[in-house]
Structure formats: structure tokens, C-alpha cells
Copies of this chain bind each other. A is one copy, B any other.
Amino acid sequence: MNSDTQQSIALETAQDLIFGKCVVLPAEEVSLSASLNRFAARPLAALEALPGYDQSLRDGFAIGEQVQGGGSSFEIIDEVAAGDTRKLTLASGEAIRIMTGGLVPDGTLRVVPNELCSVNGGRVHCVSFLQTSQKSFIHHKGRELAQGKLIVESGSAIRAEQLILLAGVGYKTVSVVRKPRVSFFCTGSELVIGGDEKLSGQKFSANAHLLHGLIELSGAKLQKQRTVRDDPDTVRETIRKLLSSHCDVIISTGGMGPGKFDLVEEAFLNMGGEVVYRSLQLRPGKSTLFGLLGKTLFFGMPGPPPAVHLLFNELIRPAILALQGARFCRPKSIQARLSESLYLPLHGLPRLKSGLLSFEDGECRVRPSTRVDVSNCYIHCSTAKRELKTGEQVIVHMTGSLPCFD
């Protein structure tokens, strides 16, 4: 244990140290349908041009060159439905009936929409269109994407617009980074375990339910979970079992800090864990540990569920993103104006206070959330002031959960 690990460090430093230990996980091939919001393991480029052929944008007539003296009248020689794969050819003075999406025949100058044509016997007439419009109503091959053009960069999540393009150029599966496997255990002798009846002096664990939900919504895979008593042997055995389940991340709650006899840290060190830091300049969240057990990231978090919720947003979800090679891992940080003043206790540490962000008249506003509110952000409160006044600009960290603006 060197002196660096004894120091309390700033949140941004902690994030950088965590990112430094995140090695991007191996790729796996998944169906395109399952790839939405997954992270591309390598750059995904257009396998072919999009569209792949010259296609009609309307139901109407593909017309060839006008014949000298033939005016705007054309002989209808065939019909092309969408999906018709014959490559037809138009000579001068000829027309072919064509459907939206149909393969445009060779020799086609333009497609004239039905509503601008009149058909008479075997001929189509389209005088006014040819006189007044320059439009071809042909969606030319490669107009949307040239073959080889980059669609998704490595380290980006695949979004709906990109999924549409990937499908169009023929991807059926894509290579994405495997989901991080996350296990956790909650410690606390005061916790009711399993179906036991609760006695006075005992509590139901909220952290197990909370972490279960947060891990699944973060895009990671929940591997194993345990709730255990504050007992050194049990904690050590729990860590050993979770490690053997081949997880990428282990999270613990409770058993941190001097009051808990450093229960988790001792077990962690006992198992050969390497401490990266053991204290944060942050409330809540001062007593947290981050380290490595072999290649597995280990987050020792405090017991109170609001602190677990906050640290999941600030440290663990960022790590889950970094393990997938994401280029932007920190919670999105924006400025907003306080719509209520905010009083802070004096204890010398920066604080993240849960808040409710809203957008009114084009402005970002935020207020601290009350005990019964749900929140959608954290308000960053520096140590400089005891009061942040209504109207002040503050920095807020958006949470990764679903938008919640109503």
C-alpha cells in the first residue's frame, strides 16, 4: 500500500484512474436486430452502395428519349413492379410503367408520376410535366451511401439511424463488444437476508434491488448477487465465489470505512486485491474503494442506497461504458440555472446533490429534488459556498436513466 492510495482524490481523477484500468472486452457477433445501442467493436462501413440500384421514387412511367417529332407521347412496352429483377431497356419514344421502388430501365431519362400522365390506348402522354419540371424522380444508386463509406465508428453505440443504413447495405450480423458481466454483494449484519422476518434493529436491503435494476439498465449483464453478514470469512468467501463466475466487475455495498472495521477492504487485500484509491473527495461517497482483483474491477461502495445510486452514475456506469470501448464515458455534464436556492452543510468536501432538470423557454433549469421526488441529474456543489442562490448557473451531471422530465 503506497502513500498515493492513502490520499483522498477528486472525482475526475478517480474516473481517469478507473478508465486507465478498463481494458476493452472482446468482440462478439450479434444479429443486427439485437445491436441497437450496443458498441461497435470495429468500424462498420457500407458493404455496397445504397441504394443498390437506380430506383423509382414514384408510381408512374419511366420514359426514354423523346423521338424527333414524337412530342411528349411514348409507347408503353412493359411494366416493372417493385421487386422485379429484370433489367429492361428503353429505346427512344418508349415508356415502361414502373412502381415506387422499381428498378429503373436502362435508357430511362426520367420517371413521370402517374398523376402527371394520361394514358390512351398503348401510349402515355405527359406534356405539362416535361415542360414545367426538371425532376427525374429517380433515386440513383449510391446516392445515400457510397460503397466503403463509414457508417459507425469503432467505440460508438449503434443508433437507429445507423441501424437503418447497416441493414440497407446488407449487414445481417455485426461485431459488437461483449456486454460487461457484473456481480455484486451487499454486506450488513443489520440486513434481513432471504425470506427471514424483520426484527426491530434490522433493515430490508434496498441495494440488492437497486443494483439489479441499475446494472440491467446500464447495458451490462448481471452475473451473480449475494447479501451477506458483516463477517470477514463470509465476505472473503463471497468475493472468491463471485470471482470464479468470470465477471468483469464486482461491486460491494457496505462494510466500508473505519466504522465497519474496513471489513470489505481487508477481505479484498486478503484475496490479493490491488488498491487504486480508497477515498474520494466527494459527499456522499467519501469512503469508497476502487481496485483490481486480477483483471476484475472492484468497486467497494458505502452502504446508504442514495450513495450507491450516485456512485453508480459517476463511476460504475462510466466503467461499464469504458469496458465497451465507448469514446464518451463520463455522465453528460451541462450548465443549468437554479430555480430554487440550495443550502449546503459545511464539511469541506464537494457534494453532488440529486436534482430535477427541466427545460423552460429554451433554458436549462434545475432544482434540488426533495425526499419524495425522483431525480434526473446531480447538481455539483463546490466547497466554496454554503448557499447557492436562485438564478445561479450550476453544473449538473445528467443521469443515464430514462429521461424523466414531466
Contact = CB atoms under 8 A, between A and B. Distances in A.
Contact of A167 (B103, B210, B354): B210
Contacts of A209: 31-33, 35, 163, 166-167
Contacts of A328: 406
A280 B260 CA distance: 63
Contacts of A37: 213, 217, 401-402
Interface in A274-321: 303, 305-306, 309
A99 B258 CA distance: 11
A401 B160 contact: yes
Contacts of A162: 374
Which of A59, A99, A160: most chain B Cβ within 10 A? A160
A372 to B, nearest CB: 8
Interface in A367-406: 369, 371-375, 393, 398, 400-406
A82 B190 contact: yes
Given A51-B203, A191-B83, A202-B85, A332 B406 contact: yes
A337 interface: yes
A103 B200 contact: yes
A364 B209 CA distance: 35
A375 B51 CA distance: 21
A233 interface: no
A214 B36 CA distance: 8
Contacts of A169: 204
Contacts of A372: 151
B362 A305 contact: no
B200 A393 contact: no
A258 B213 contact: no
A185 B206 CA distance: 42
A362 B337 contact: yes
7 contacts: A37-B402, A58-B259, A100-B260, A102-B190, A164-B206, A164-B210, A168-B204
